[in-house]
Structure formats: structure tokens, C-alpha cells
Homo-oligomer: A and B are copies of this chain.
């Protein structure tokens, strides 16, 4: 291990230089104009894998390519699947960047560039740690498989298909993803739970065109009134979701988890000030962190009907549409929740309106037993690098690949985020702290050692 650490220390500047090269490639997956750059970026990742001692190849998909690499030291050792993505969010709005998104620059101890933290900077920590192991000791203490895709920011449309067709090849004991954040400044974290999601659209159609509200109003069902009535019934004044059966399968937080959440530094005032909200509001009987991380929701994400310009317009709208997402917690089945939602909203549709329900791709929630040997090993690695033990947290968002790994490959995922919530991911001036980048490499180097010691 000492040799590994020395190698890392000696190569800090080189790692930075190589990261800058990675960040300079505008691998914007959402914009087809950048398609050639996606290929260039995949090749960069392949070369970095080879430099780290992996056998690597570029695998084409219907969309952007996947880069896959592996190094099997010894089948008796634990095998770890590392996932990440080399594609980035579009850099728009360009004028809000202090320096250009694809010209990385260091300011105030931070590396500014699109992809710095999401996810190139974090992916790169694992490659550099592996490279240090291999170059300084000639081997790795575990077997590793790297799966770095190019479509995370556009929905990973072709990933599940690859997972299904490569089950044997991807066989592993545990997965590692560094695409989350620390809990706060100087508070490293392991995320052991994520919420799932289902998404749907409800469209009500009444008269074939907008009607004069004086001539017709009062005599036919108004789709906007009906949609409001239906959507207004989804969540009660007590913050509880009203869909029948919604909470039936919810796995409740343990008393210990609630205690751990309560012990985390959290200022509700700062939280509210940051988002500009006047007060917290949510399910009665739960704290703000519990509501965000471990309670299911039903949020209207968008709603539109009739006239949306200035001033009044006296119409009965022809149609009304709402976008709805439910965040799910462990225990809840996406299909069952979607079906309950559809039944509940359709049952309230008044006579004379056409009802259309469209559902979109969703995923289950995820929870990794925080007492598992893998989490304990990862925790020790993080502590070695960051100088203090990580806190154990959940996150309210969804990472569909974690659900796919569970369902298709049958493995749990260690979510080890080196970055911070304040790193402007998906926003202008995205960055990663230089210290977080180097500590991430260090934590990764320790991680392979600690994981190798796990008795399975």
C-alpha cells in the first residue's frame, strides 16, 4: 500500500493534467452536433483504462458507445463493478460561465469545467487509483470491471439492454459508483439508500375546441376544473398521499436510522433560505430529512390548460394536462403504484371527458443494508482518505442504474461520492474541489485494499 500511496503522491500533477484533457472533450450526449466528440471521449476513456492496466474495448450501442474494461487478477478475489459516465450535460446557458465550460481552469482551489464533478472527475479517480496500484505493485487486490457509459445524461436508454446481454461478463460481488456527493463541507458520506420513481401524464379532453365560457360555461365538464379536482386529491392537507394503497408496502425507517438522520448537522432555516421557500411542508410525523430521503411523494411537475397569456380569457378549455411523478421508497413496486395512480385518477374523471394516462420509464427505490461488510469496508477506505468516518445517508433522487444492477445483475451498489452538492452540477460554473479529487483517488486506492479483505 505504501508504494501505491507514493505513486499517487508523485503523480498528482499528472493526474490533474490528464483530467483537464478529459474535461476538454465536449461530450454532450444530448446534442447530436457533438456525436464525433462522443467517440473521441470514449477513446480517451479506453486509453485511460489501458493505461491503468485494464483490457478495454469500445462497445457500440444504438446511441453513444459504452466503454468496458476489466482486470481479472484471480477469480477467488472479490470482483467489483465500477460504473460511471463520460457524457456531460449541455453547457447552456453559456453566458453564465465565468470561464468557458470546456476550458478547465483552477480558481479558489476548484477545477471549473462541465463534467468536473458529474461525472468525469469522479470516474477518473478510480482509474488513477487502479493505475497507481498496477504500476507500483504490478497487481490489484481485487478483480475490477469498468462500465463507463455515454448516455447517462439522456436517460441511459441502451444500458439495460447491454446489462441484460452481458450478465455473465459483468458478474460481480458489488458495484461502486461515484456520482453522488459528500453530505456537506468536510463531511464525507456513503449513500446507502435512494428513492425510486414513477412518472405519468394525465390528459383530459372535453369539447373539441376551447369554448366561450359565457355561452357554454356551466353546461359541460370543464377539463381544467376536473384536472384540478383530480390532481388536488393526490395529496392531503396533512401532506399524505391519498392514492389508495400507496403506503401499503412502504418499508419504514428503523429507529436507528431515524436517530442517525436526527444527528446529522442540518439547519432547516438554511435549507429554506437556500431554496427560497417560506416554510417546510410535508407528511405529518416526519422530519425534513426523512421526508426528502425515505418517504414517498406525489408531485405535480407540470400542468397546462387553456389560456396562459396575460389578463383574462373567457373560455372553457378543450384539454387539460398534468405531469405527475411519485418518488418511491424501498418496498414500493413501481408497476403497482402506477396502476393505483391510474385507477385513482381515472375514477374521478367526470362524465363527458376523455381520459388518457401515459406512463414513462420508472425504477424501484434502493437500500443497501448499512451494516453490510461492503459498506463497512468502504467506510474504512473513506475514513483513511478523508481523515474522518463518513456519515450514512440516503438521497431523495433516483439513480436508475442502481436499480438495474440490483434487478438485472443481482448486486448492490456502494455510492461513494467525492464531490459536493454545491459543485453546480447541471449548472454553469460546474466544478470539483482539487482536494476532493485527490482525496477521491486516495479513497479509491484504499477501497480496493479494504474490499479485498471482505470475507464473502
Contact = CB atoms under 8 A, between A and B. Distances in A.
Number of copies: 2
Interface stretch (A13-21, A38-46, A203-211, A445-453): A203-211
Interface in A152-205: 195, 197, 199-201
Interface in A263-312: 272, 275-283, 288, 291-292, 295-308, 311-312
A397 B282 contact: no
B225 A300 contact: yes
Interface stretch (A124-132, A141-149, A345-353): A345-353
A341 to B, nearest CB: 13
B232 A229 contact: yes
A229 to B, nearest CB: 4
A263 B211 CA distance: 25
Contact of A303 (B208, B218, B224, B299): B224
A447 to B, nearest CB: 26
Contacts of A314: 197, 199, 301, 325
A206 B315 contact: no
Interface string A346-384: 000011111000001000000000000000000000000
A398 to B, nearest CB: 6
A35 interface: no
A423 to B, nearest CB: 14
Nearest to A327: B217
B234 A225 contact: yes
Contact of A213 (B218, B283, B327): B327
Interface in A43-74: none
B327 A283 contact: no
B224 A301 contact: yes
Interface stretch (A93-101, A244-252, A316-324, A408-416): A316-324
A397 B215 contact: yes
A352 B280 contact: yes
A305 B307 contact: no
A315 B209 CA distance: 30
A304 B228 CA distance: 11
Given A300-B305, A302-B317, 11 more contacts: A211-B275, A215-B395, A218-B283, A218-B292, A221-B281, A224-B300, A224-B302, A228-B322, A277-B352, A302-B306, A308-B321
Interface of A: 195, 197, 199-201, 206-209, 211-222, 224-225, 227-235, 237, 239, 272, 275-283, 288, 291-292, 295-308, 311-317, 320-323, 325, 327, 350-354, 360, 395-398
